Copies of this chain bind each other. A is one copy, B any other.
């Protein structure tokens, strides 16, 4: 069990080394590669949440509308250029969430717990985004 924990930790360390240090939240949110990785992270966490909520295995994809709205509720839109479209804002949310996971702001379990705790999916994602922001803005 302890070896298992170390392995997971080791994966995040390797990813963290690859990512290096971004200069700002905006840099993280505008990274296309992170958005692509984040897309798979967000859909996995969401599918786990659906499975637990309905008591049977399920899969699902989070819409751009939900992610974009969550970004606004977490007061994170102001970090992006003013005229970006919904698709771009959804990408920013995905990038930030997977970056925060890699940097240890929350575990997959914690993310599932947070989404499960809210009837409104937007609220759940907004909470995760707020936690990501808080964690990443702390001086390391």
Contact = CB atoms under 8 A, between A and B. Distances in A.
A contacts with B: majority SS: helix
What is the count of identical protomers in the complex? 2
A48 B5 contact: no
Contact of A36 (B5, B15, B19, B59): B59
Interface stretch (A80-88, A107-115, A121-129, A130-138): A107-115
Interface of A: 1-2, 4-5, 7-11, 14-15, 18-19, 31, 33-41, 43-44, 46-48, 51-52, 55-60, 98, 107-110, 112
A34 B58 CA distance: 6
A48 B44 CA distance: 12
A11 B107 CA distance: 11
Contacts of A43: 40, 43-44
Contacts of A18: 51-52, 55-57
A108 B19 CA distance: 19
